[in-house]
A and B are shown apart, each in its own frame.
Chain A
Amino acid sequence: MSNTLILLVILGLGVLGFFAGRARAMATAEGDRRNLHSLPNYYGANTALNAVVPAAVALAVWLIVQPFIINNSVSDMIDQGAIAEGSSLGLIMSDVRRVAEGLDVAVAQGAMTEQDASDMQTGFTDVRERLAEVGVALGSGVSAETLLAAQRYREMAWTGNWLKTFAVIAIAVGGLVLTWRVITRDYRARNVVEKGVLTVLILAASIAILTTVGIVLSLIFNTYEFFKLYPAADFFFGLNWSPSFSGRGQSSQLGILPLLWGTLYISFIALVVAVPIGLFAAIYLSEYASKSVRAVAKPMLEVLAGIPTIVYGLFALLTVGPLLVDVFGEGGMLGVNWMSGGTAVMTAGLVMGMMLIPFVSSLSDDIINAVPQAMRDGSLGLGATHSETVRQVIIPAALPGIVGAILLAASRAIGETMIVVLGAGAAARLSLNPFDAMTTVTAKIVSQLTGDSDFSSPVALVAFALGISLFVVTLGLNVFALYIVRKYREQYE
């Protein structure tokens, strides 16, 4: 039976269990639900859960374990000495599996009988030819040993599948019957179902956490590979970034500092733009704007946050960059020649700042609104003007939260990619001139891994080292932001 079918059977048993459990509960309560410990549906759900969950878990485990067992027992059949030069057990095993699948297909299409498939011998039949007839192409002729192994493989898989079907359905039926039998009017089905709900919640939380752990681990292992090929000191302290794709990475210089400098410089400019504008917008919206203005302006500002960053990138490339060149470039309005092309730190920084405005303003607005009205009343009652109240009472009271908002915006700026790719250029450079083209860690990760990348060369693996460096920086910022927000959260209570 196929796995889908087994699953459907289990689910069917679950539905059956639901109604059976519910009916039995009602029966023990003499038809009056008030005599039951839990609502009738809980008894049904409890029975259904006990039928479905253990069986589904058993199915999943079986699906993982069975191939291992079959592989091990079949590979024992293959003589270690018979493995040809340049081949390996793994390759032979994949041949075996391929032949086994081919035989399955042939039987399914009626080109062979089941008997033929299990009794066939290389001495009498050209297996390769016969399989080619049914559309299964094999790379080379099939040796006697491989065919035997494949036949053994099929046999075991067939037995395994039947065992699996019986075992899983037996577990489902067993779960159903056992639960059904213990149902009495005092059985605490509600508490059992609650435990099931709790398990689901815990699973959801662990998946989120485990994903993070998995991402970090994959970064760490690849970074470790990278540092085996490229000295860590050169990576962390190198002042040059010039990967050489052709020379197998031998002549590459992969220093993170120019990229880190570009990242921090662009983020700094972005924050210089976003923090005052966002903060002032938040103060206006939360303190001065009338209800009707606020109802329109706040969603408008938040629309900015919904624009895809690639669109900001286009805006940087096509509008802001040329505009800046007109002002600061050669023959520009100021008569200075600081800027040679549209892509520059300034271009990316300005546009990224615009992108961050809603982050800062929206979070700060919430935080300012959370300052109790009593603070405002107290200050106004002492004869302070509105702006004195804002400056001297509300902003200080909201400051920890605002700092948190800024740090979150900063970590967002550091991780930003598309605006940088389009707006800042691709040249890794250590320069103080904000009108120079520079690049960032994220943009370089993209360019190292786009196209054909060979994951054994440092030029590609460096992306993981860059990634983990970036991760550490933004993680540090986030932890710091959370610490600040937590530390001062309860100040006015």
Chain B
Amino acid sequence: MKDMIPVDRKMSTMQDSKISARGVQVYYGETHAIKDVSVEIADNTVTAFIGPSGCGKSTFLRCLNRMNDTIDSARVSGDILIDGEDIYDPRVDPVQLRAKVGMVFQKPNPFPKSIYDNVAYGPKIHGLARNKADLDEIVEKSLRKAALWEEAKDRLDKPGTGLSGGQQQRLCIARAIATAPEVLLMDEPCSALDPIATAQVEELIDELRQSYSVVIVTHSMQQAARVSQKTAFFHLGNLVEYDDTDKIFTNPQDPRTESYISGRIG
């Protein structure tokens, strides 16, 4: 599986980007939501998208696994390549793509099924397990990675909706991990959580970096500073600035970024 990738490939090898977007435009009907965004997202890195509400950061995130396809009025143009392959190529099956690019949503959305079935859902539909023992192993491993195993192992057959908010969100992360994705997209994963659950999820995100390329949309600049290595600042559909997180927060190049970070806009 992907967690066998050696960990020494760090920030130094920036050129082997996992996702590269070039000249991406998104329209919702008449609204021009994303204006000519180009960005390179590295493997084994946490990339944060920040910006005021309605700036297009979630929209752009949803382009990366073609979730915008489910919205009738959305049109996407430009190139988005994952591992050098254009994901908007007609030959690409969005269903397969989403198995490779997992997603965690703003509000925890466990299915009304048992905890076990929630995690096993992806592996089952993608045929990742040969038998029950395999599936058990995948479930346990995913829950362990999502730091939920200790809390959930005795109640795997209980409904996932019975967990607390923070546990539910970790369950959703476990569910996303279980399909063995290469990229994990997180759309404000902590906005519905209390500070303690947020801390747990953030810790988890940092660990997930070992195995995945993580892209996180967040409203909290502190969170972006805490968990990410790279930060992209979006404003009114434009990608204003994209750089190392340290640099964005200490020495932003664009005056708009500086205003947002210092709390003057947004």
A→B interface (CB under 8 Å): 290-291, 372, 374-385, 388, 392-393, 396-397, 491-493
Contacts and interface: CB of A to CB of B under 8 A. Distances in A.
Contact of B112 (A290, A384, A388, A397): A397
A384 B65 CA distance: 13
Interface residues of B, number: 29
B161 A382 contact: no
Interface in B168-200: 172, 175-176, 179
Interface stretch (B118-126, B205-213, B247-255): B118-126
A155 B65 CA distance: 94
A382 B99 contact: yes
Interface string B216-257: 000000000000000000000000000000000000000000
Contact of A377 (B99, B109, B175): B109
19 contacts: A290-B72, A375-B109, A377-B70, A378-B172, A378-B175, A379-B121, A381-B103, A381-B105, A382-B103, A382-B122, A383-B97, A383-B99, A384-B121, A385-B95, A385-B125, A396-B111, A397-B111, A491-B112, A492-B161
Nearest to B99: A383
Contacts of A397: 111-112
Interface in B100-122: 100, 102-103, 105, 107, 109-113, 121-122
B96 interface: yes
Contacts of B112: 375, 396-397, 491-492
B67 A381 contact: yes
7 shortest A-B CB distances, which residue pairs?
Answer: A383-B99, A381-B103, A374-B109, A383-B98, A382-B122, A378-B109, A491-B112
Contact of B126 (A290, A377, A383, A492): A383
Nearest to A377: B105
Contact of B176 (A376, A381, A392, A492): A381
Contacts of A290: 72
A382 B70 contact: no
B175 A380 contact: no
Contacts of A396: 111-113
B211 to A, nearest CB: 17
B111 A378 contact: yes
B122 A378 contact: no
A56 B175 CA distance: 69
Contacts of A491: 112, 159, 161
A375 B160 CA distance: 13
Contacts of B172: 378
Contacts of B175: 378, 382
Contacts of A379: 111, 121
Contact of B105 (A291, A374, A385, A493): A374
A378 B159 CA distance: 16
Nearest to A388: B125
Interface string B64-101: 01010010100000000000000000000001111110
B125 A392 contact: yes
Nearest to A398: B112
B179 A383 contact: yes
A27 B175 CA distance: 73
Given A376-B70, A377-B67, 8 more contacts: A290-B72, A291-B72, A374-B109, A375-B112, A381-B102, A381-B176, A382-B125, A384-B95
Nearest to A493: B161
A491 B162 CA distance: 9
A382 B65 CA distance: 10
B29 to A, nearest CB: 13
B238 to A, nearest CB: 26
B109 A380 contact: no
Contacts of B95: 383-385
Contacts of A385: 95, 125
A375 B108 CA distance: 10
A397 B109 CA distance: 12
Residue of A381, A384, A491 with most chain B CB atoms under a 10 A cut-off: A381
In this complex, the member of A291, A376, A383 whose beta carbon has the largest number of chain B beta carbons within 10 angstroms is: A383
A290 B98 CA distance: 23
B155 to A, nearest CB: 17
Contact of A382 (B102, B107, B113): B102
A112 B236 CA distance: 98
Contacts of A383: 95-100, 122, 125-126, 179
- With a 10 A CB-CB cut-off, give which of A375, A378, A380 has the most chain B CB atoms: A378
B252 to A, nearest CB: 32
Contacts of A377: 67, 70, 103, 105, 109
A382 B99 CA distance: 5
A374 B99 contact: no
Contacts of A376: 70
Contacts of B98: 380-383
A384 B99 CA distance: 8
A382 B109 contact: no
Nearest to A397: B112
Interface string B130-167: 00000000000000000000000000000101000000
A397 B179 CA distance: 22
Contacts of B176: 381-382
Nearest to A378: B109
Nearest to A383: B99
A380 B121 CA distance: 11
A381 B72 contact: no
Contacts of B96: 383
A446 to B, nearest CB: 45
Nearest to B178: A382
A23 to B, nearest CB: 56
Contacts of A382: 98-99, 102-103, 121-122, 125, 175-176, 179
A381 to B, nearest CB: 4
